[in-house]
Chains A and B, each alone.
Chain A
Amino acid sequence: NAGVTQTPKFQVLKTGQSMTLQCAQDMNHNSMYWYRQDPGMGLRLIYYSASEGTTDKGEVPNGYNVSRLNKREFSLRLESAAPSQTSVYFCASSQQGTRNTIYFGEGSWLTVV
């Protein structure tokens, strides 16, 4: 059972480089999310997409862009990476609506040097 799949799992970037984190879900979910996790900070929402064709900013959107490519895929792009973006990134998905469980991928470890 694939669920939510993120690539790459590990990445090292130099400051100023760009990269895209890919996420795909096979559960036919409408809503998708990107969170970042930092020590002592819990998970913070970067962007989310309530349904195909819509995206909205979360708590910490600065320095990121997203694309909801289709219902399955939701990518996160760092245009000019900064050391402050060193983090673990989690993609998640759920059915649209407030009572549905949000399912998480296994995370992408990003280091910016």
Chain B
Amino acid sequence: DAGITQSPRYKITETGRQVTLMCHQTWSHSYMFWYRQDLGHGLRLIYYSAAADITDKGEVPDGYVVSRSKTENFPLTLESATRSQTSVYFCASKTGSSYEQYFGPGTRLTVT
């Protein structure tokens, strides 16, 4: 299906485990973003990517790793999950010539 998808949609994991959240878009958008959404903070940028093999830190990158070997995929890895990483994670993408971002459906992650 065309669009931007995230998987899994829901995940429960234990403290210390490694978790990878997937984001896939079919539009060949050059820019991709990872956000987390927490009550009282709104959306905060974790990492973003301007193109394949180009990534940069956002506002809250600690504890997260990203890669972008293909334009359409932008996985987010929590190397050793902590309870403070319990959140809803949104992926988004956009073209290089537009300001509008398109958001995925979100992944609700609970770290126990």
- Chains A and B belong together in one complex: no
Partner-B contacts on A (CB < 8 A): none
Partner-A contacts on B (CB < 8 A): none
